[in-house]
Amino acid sequence: MITIIGCGNLIRKDDGVGPILIRKLWDLGVPSHVRLADGGTAGMDVVFQIGKAEELIIIDACTTGAEPGTVFEIPGEEVEETPLENINLHDFRWNHAIAMGKWLLKNDFPKKVTVYLIEAQDLSYGTGLSPAVDESVNKLAKKIIRKVSGEEIEVSNN
C-alpha cells in the first residue's frame, strides 16, 4: 500500500497546498492500493496516518526563496528531523513524524519515503492558491497518479 499525506493549513492560502493536492488526487481517482490522508497542521497525526504503508509520500508547502510553484522532490531521510527530545506538540511537524514513525513502527515503517515540497508565494490568511502554485499542484497530481499507477519508470543510477 502507498499512503499519501498532504500537510498544510487551508486558511493560509498557499500553505494549504498539501490538503488541496490530496483533494485533487481524490477527484482524479487513485488505484485501490493508494490511501489518501489530509495531514492538516498536526504533525503527530501524520505518524498515525502512516498505517501499514510500504511507501509514504508527504506533500507540503515550503519557503526557500525559489520561484513560486517550484516543486522539490526529496527522499524522506534527507528531511527527517531528529532528535525528538524537548519538542512539544505545537512544534511537532511531518519531518518529526518521519523520525517518530521509524522509532514507533520499526520494521513496519515504509521502506520508501518521498517528500514533495511546493514553493509558496502567499502564506497570508485567506483561501485559494496563487496561480503558480495551483499550476504546480495540477502537474504534481498528474505525476503522482502516473507514479502510483506504475506508469512512471524510475531511473536508477546503479
Enumerate helices (H) and strands (E) in the chain, giving the number of each: 5, 5
Tell me, yes or no, whether 56 lies in a domain. yes
CA distances from 31 to 8, 26, 35, 36, 122 (A): 24, 10, 9, 11, 32
Tell me, yes or no, whether 10 lies in a domain. yes
**Cα(68)–Cα(106) distance, integer angstroms:** 36
Tell me which residue range forms the domain holding 130: 2-148
Tell me, yes or no, whether 153 lies in a domain. no
pLDDT at 69: 97
Instruction: Please say whether the dihedral angle defined by the alpha carbons of residues 99, 100, 106 and 112, taken in this order, is positive or negative.
Output: negative
Digit-by-digit pLDDT tens for the chain (158 residues) are 999 999 999 999 999 999 999 999 999 999 999 999 998 777 667 777 887 899 999 999 999 999 999 999 999 888 776 656 666 555 666 776 777 778 878 888 899 999 999 999 999 999 999 999 999 999 999 999 999 998 865 544 44
Tell me, yes or no, whether 27 lies in a domain. yes
23 CB neighbour count, 10 Å cutoff = 16
Tell me, yes or no, whether 156 lies in a domain. no
Tell me, yes or no, whether 157 lies in a domain. no
Instruction: Please say whether the dihedral angle defined by the alpha carbons of residues 60, 97, 12 and 148, taken in this order, is positive or negative.
Output: positive
Tell me, yes or no, whether 154 lies in a domain. no
CATH of the domain at 105: 3.40.50.1450
How many domains does the chain fold into? Answer: 1
Query: Phi then psi for 77, rounded to 5 degrees?
Result: -65, -20
C-alpha cell at 133: 502554485
Tell me, yes or no, whether 119 lies in a domain. yes
